[in-house]
Chains A and B, each alone.
Chain A
Amino acid sequence: MNRYRVVVAIRLKPEVLDPAGQAVAGVLDQMGMTGVESVRLGRLVDLEVAADGPESARALAEAAARRLLANPVLETFEVAVEP
């Protein structure tokens, strides 16, 4: 068994309204950073995974993302196994 660091990046689907992101965008605008045109908040999950190889570490992280970490109705996710 090896240990892998796996990062799961979870994003709201583009068509899903993000009031928190809009609030952050509004404050950035108040602070004078008017060039920021859109803010979407997501979630980053760091996993430490014990697995035989990087592909099984990825498979385990994808199962975790699919079954709990992300809500498929609202969110998409990407899994990256760190070298």
Chain B
Amino acid sequence: MSTEAVAVITFPGSNCDDDTVMALGRLGVPVVRRWYRDRDLGEARRVVLPGGFSYGDYLRSGALAARAPIMDAVEDGVATGRLTVLGICNGFQILCERGLLPGALRPNRDGRFRCTWEWVRVATAPLHWPEFRPGTRFRLPIAHREGAFTLPRAELDRLWQEGAVFLQYCGPDGAVGDEYNPNGSMDQVAGICRGRVMGLMPHPERAVAAYLGSEDGLRFLRAWLASEGE
């Protein structure tokens, strides 16, 4: 696990940035904080877009934050292959709105904000993360109203073929089915990974101690920090 610094971006309305900094701190990783109006990420080659309600979810969740100045730096870093990115919840929505990940997060099918513990499993091993093995499970909380991953069927089929469908909601034993789908995501998708850009709706940073209900988030973040290749 690399101990190079990780940048955590705060957008106006981010509310999981402190939790993310704390979780990374527990793993002994130095953190640099960046503001949405910053135009660079400094020396950091890894960045986390945290959860929250950037811009009050105005227009669409993540739509306005996706056009913030710092996102030009994120896009440049992705384009040049020097940056590894993790978007959590609102951060995932921002990555999709920016076009750095495919698809969109539409409102949950029951129209409700869902705040529950869910199981997720690694559906396809992401290329640059050897510790995310297929079938690995995590118990993580979700907290969102717009979390149903959506895109045209043919495009989702292509994502499966490309190996981009990273994480799916599942049962405690890893079974995948609509009964374990908390929000109406197509194919129970909980997270997507393309290249060095990963996004997921569940909150690993909220599951970092037994007294919070699960430590699986630490395991998840440790695996994310163990990315390989340049």
The interface of chain A, by Cβ under 8 A from chain B, is: 16-20, 22-23, 68-69, 71, 73-74
Q: How far is the CA of A32 from the CA of B199 in the complex (A)?
A: 44
B residues in contact with A73, CB < 8 Å: 96, 103-104, 150-152
Minimal Cβ-Cβ distance residue in B for A72: B104
Asked whether B104 lies within 8 Å of A74 as measured between CB atoms, the reply is yes
Residues in B with CB closer than 8 Å to A19 are 107-111
Interface size class of B (residues with CB under 8 A): 10 to 19
How distant is the Cα of A71 from the Cα of B108 in the complex, in angstroms?
Answer: 17
CA distance A68 to B96 in the complex (A): 13
B20-68 residues with Cβ-Cβ distance < 8 A to A are 59-60, 63, 67
B184 is an interface residue with CB less than 8 A from chain A:
yes
A38 to B218, CA, bound (A): 46
Task: Let me know if B111 and A71 touch, CB within 8 A.
Answer: no
Establish whether residues A74 and B111, one from each chain, have CB atoms under 8 Å apart when the complex forms. Answer: no
User: Beyond A68-B63, A71-B63, A73-B151, is A20–B104 a contact (Cβ under 8 Å)?
Assistant: no
Q: Which residues of B contact A20 (CB under 8 A)?
A: 107, 111
Question: What 4 pairs between A and B have smallest CB-CB spacing?
Answer: A19-B111, A73-B104, A74-B104, A19-B107
A-B contact pairs, 12 of them (CB 8 A): A16-B106, A16-B150, A17-B107, A17-B184, A68-B63, A69-B59, A71-B104, A73-B96, A73-B152, A74-B104, A74-B106, A74-B150
Say whether B111 contacts A23, CB under 8 Å: yes
A68 in contact with B109 (CB, 8 Å): no
Q: Please, how many angstroms separate the alpha-carbon atoms of A22 and B67 in the complex?
A: 31
Interface residues of B in 79-128 (CB under 8 A from A): 96-97, 103-104, 106-111
Which residues in B have their C-beta under 8 angstroms from that of A22? Answer: 111
**Who on chain A is nearest to B108 by CB?**
A19
Q: Are B110 and A71 in contact (CB under 8 A)?
A: no
**CB-defined contacts of B184 to chain A, threshold 8 Å:** 17
- Nearest-CB residue, chain B, relative to A19: B111
B191 → A minimal CB distance (Å): 17
Please tell me if the beta carbons of A71 and B97 are within 8 angstroms of each other in the complex.
yes
Interface mask (B7-18 → A, CB under 8 Å = 1, otherwise 0): 000000000000
Knowing A17-B184, A19-B108 touch, does A68 contact B150 (C-beta < 8 A)?
no
Q: Which of B67, B108, B111 interacts with A68 by CB under 8 Å?
A: B67
- How far does the alpha carbon of A23 sit from the alpha carbon of B110 in the complex, in Å? 9
Whole-angstrom CA separation of A7 from B192 in the bound complex: 35
Q: How far is the CA of A18 from the CA of B111 in the complex (A)?
A: 8
Query: Which residues of chain B in 131-152 are interfacial with respect to chain A, using CB atoms and an 8 Å cutoff?
Result: 148, 150-152
Q: Residues of B contacting A16 with CB < 8 Å?
A: 106, 150
